[in-house]
């Protein structure tokens, strides 16, 4: 099964793409550039295609920060330089960068299921939390599911595993629901999505870090107890499992899901994954309502408030949202000095159609509907070294704690 799948993935690769012995693309000799374009996006996008370059990120916000980050394959470097764009080199060798991410490490394999005498007990005994060493490496998809199960087993009376629909390739979109002393689903929701974009591995690790610390600190940190007693958390660390798996087996920089498309509509909910997480959000909205929604992305270090679709439209409580975002940024910076830029999506980053924070502002309203772009600002980009997982978790945790105490 595994083998057949690998064959299917390798077959469509174009000639010239190098793969390692496990069929994963390697990016030896690719250089990453930050290119300043003069607003002529369409022309630039056409050039990217002719160079077989990979678009990593773009910023179309303020005129003085507009840029594209792109990875250019070695055979196109001369052609790229001949175009004479104003460009800064971010990475000399993307292949070497990816090596710094480290190997995918299997889950330490704790047997956390309650067995024997405990299985018959009326109240399941809490297992120990999984080892914190989880956050020292990136991990295969299957191990993320085991990790979630282990978190649940460590907080058995205040959590359950949840599923928000099914991916294109048939994987359940899994997550965890945590609650406090009021009991299950008795409070407004805090709803987090990670890894909407497949290649943004730091997002699932960071969202899992926050989940871990919520459970770890519930009994001894009054602020954590307060937020869990006042809100129900619904946390989906990997909402694009097919794409995530594909980045691990084949194409590290894959962004989307794995649906074959003939002409995309771009409308919200046009993939099974979007439909699943949107429907789940609608259910939360119709229940106790949503206090906070965050769509976790990387990279760029931004905290983004609504709207994406328009640079002039104002969301409810816009100035309060923007002030909160700024203060969250300050709380983050206190931990390791990491600077996040904050502001409205459209004017800060680029105009987006069908963005999830717009949806959760207008359609199923969350009081705060944000997107956060995690580390870094381009040095390592999507392939953030594993030794930054814990610092990213620590600063994000501090930012969320500020937000929960002040929203
Ligand atoms: C609460 O206890 C956990 C587990 O022992 C520990 O890791 C954490 O630092 C403690 N938090 C506080 C605020 O003391
Ligand atoms: C605006 O913020 C206040 C708190 O300052 C809150 O009570 C209210 O629900 C918010 N309104 C909307 C539409 O989110
Ligand atoms: Zn993203």
Query: From the CA of 223, which ligand is nearest?
Result: 1
Ligand 1 site, residue 216, Cβ cutoff 6 A: yes
* Token representation of residue 308: 């994406």
- Nearest Cα residue to 205 out of 294, 144, 160: 144
pLDDT of residue 234: 98
The Cβ of residue 107 has, within 10 Å, a number of other Cβ atoms equal to: 18
The Cβ of residue 347 has, within 10 Å, a number of other Cβ atoms equal to: 17
pLDDT of residue 44: 85
Contact 373, 304 (CB under 8 A): yes
Query: From the CA of 293, which ligand is nearest?
Result: 2
pLDDT of residue 34: 94
- Enter the pTM of the model: 0.91
Q: Which atom of ligand 2 is nearest to the CA of 368?
A: 14
Query: From the CA of 198, which ligand is nearest?
Result: 3
pLDDT of residue 3: 31
Angle at 63 between CA 57 and CA 64, to 5 degrees: 85
| Ligand 1 mutation target, pool 209, 213, 217, 226, most atoms within 8 A of CB | 217
Ligand 1 site, residue 217, Cβ cutoff 6 A: yes
pLDDT of residue 43: 83
Ligand 2 site, residue 362, Cβ cutoff 6 A: no
Measuring from atom 1 of ligand 2, which residue has the nearest CA?
317
Ligand 2 site, residue 270, Cβ cutoff 6 A: no
Q: What is the DSSP string of 280-323?
A: HHHHHHHTT-EEEEEEEEESS-EEEES-SS-SS---TTHHHHHH
- How far apart CA 345 and CA 148 sit, in angstroms, is 31
- How far apart CA 213 and CA 209 sit, in angstroms, is 6
CA of 108 to the centre of ligand 1 (A): 22
pLDDT of residue 60: 79
| Ligand 1 mutation target, pool 216, 219, 225, 401, most atoms within 8 A of CB | 216
Q: Which residues are catalytic?
A: 373
Ligand 2 site, residue 316, Cβ cutoff 6 A: yes
Q: Which domains does the chain have, with CATH numbers?
A: 31-92 (3.30.70), 117-405 (3.40.630.10)
Q: H/E element holding 138?
A: none
Ion ligand 3 neighbours (CB, 5 A) are 197, 297
CA of 298 to the centre of ligand 2 (A): 28
Query: From the CA of 360, which ligand is nearest?
Result: 2
CA of 188 to the centre of ligand 2 (A): 13
Successive 10-residue mean pLDDT values, the chain, 407 residues: 30 57 89 85 86 90 81 96 93 91 79 46 74 96 97 97 96 98 98 96 98 98 98 98 96 89 56 93 97 97 95 95 98 98 92 86 94 96 96 98 98
- How far apart CA 195 and CA 239 sit, in angstroms, is 6
CA of 102 to the centre of ligand 1 (A): 29
- How far apart CA 158 and CA 179 sit, in angstroms, is 5
What backbone torsions phi and psi does residue 172 show, to the nearest 5 degrees? -70, 135
Pairing assessment for the beta strands 366-374 and 290-298 based on DSSP bridges: parallel
Pairing assessment for the beta strands 302-305 and 366-374 based on DSSP bridges: antiparallel
Q: Residue 344 forms beta bridges with which residues?
A: 305
Give, rounded to a whole angstrom, the gap between the first and last alpha carbons of the chain: 48
| Ligand 2 mutation target, pool 285, 316, 319, most atoms within 8 A of CB | 316
Q: What is the DSSP string of 95-128?
A: HHHHHHT-PPPPP-----S--THHHHSSSPPPPP
- How far apart CA 17 and CA 30 sit, in angstroms, is 11
């Amino acid at each position: 099964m595994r083998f057949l799948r690998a064959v299917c993935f390798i077959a469509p690769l174009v000639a010239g793409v190098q793969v390692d012995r496990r069929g994963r693309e390697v990016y030896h000799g690719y250089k990453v550039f930050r290119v300043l374009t003069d607003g002529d996006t369409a022309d630039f996008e056409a050039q990217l295609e002719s160079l077989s370059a990979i678009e990593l990120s773009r910023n179309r916000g303020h005129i003085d920060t507009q840029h594209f980050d792109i990875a250019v394959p070695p055979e196109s470097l001369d052609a790229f330089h001949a175009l004479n764009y104003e460009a800064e080199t971010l990475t000399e060798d993307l292949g070497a960068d990816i090596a710094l991410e480290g190997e995918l490490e299997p889950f330490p394999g704790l047997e956390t299921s309650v067995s024997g005498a405990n299985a018959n007990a009326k109240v399941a005994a809490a297992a120990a939390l999984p080892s914190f060493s989880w956050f020292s490496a990136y991990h295969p998809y299957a191990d993320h599911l085991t990790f979630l199960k282990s978190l649940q087993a460590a907080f058995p009376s205040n959590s359950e595993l949840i599923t928000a629909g099914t991916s294109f390739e048939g994987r359940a979109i899994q997550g965890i629901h945590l609650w406090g002393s009021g009991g299950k689903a008795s409070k407004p929701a805090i709803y987090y999505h990670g890894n909407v974009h497949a290649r943004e591995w730091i997002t699932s690790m960071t969202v899992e870090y926050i989940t871990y610390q919520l459970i770890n600190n519930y009994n001894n940190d009054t602020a954590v107890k307060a937020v869990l007693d006042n809100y129900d958390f619904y946390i989906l660390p990997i909402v694009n499992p097919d794409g995530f798996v594909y980045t691990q087996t084949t194409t590290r920089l894959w962004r989307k899901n794995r649906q074959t498309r003939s002409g995309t509509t771009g409308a919200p909910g046009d993939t099974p994954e979007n439909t699943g997480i949107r429907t789940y959000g609608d259910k939360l909205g119709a229940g106790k309502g949503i206090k906070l929604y965050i769509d976790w992305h990387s990279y760029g270090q931004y905290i983004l408030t609504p709207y994406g679709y328009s640079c002039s439209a104002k969301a409810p409580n816009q100035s309060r949202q923007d002030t909160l975002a700024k203060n969250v940024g300050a709380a983050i910076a206190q931990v390791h000095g990491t600077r996040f830029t904050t502001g409205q999506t459209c004017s800060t980053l680029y105009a987006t159609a069908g963005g999830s924070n717009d949806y959760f502002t207008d359609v199923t309203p969350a009081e705060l509907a944000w997107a956060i772009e995690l580390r870094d600002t381009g040095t390592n980009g999507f392939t953030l070294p594993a030794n930054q997982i814990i610092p990213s978790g620590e600063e994000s945790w501090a930012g969320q704690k500020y937000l929960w105490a002040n929203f």
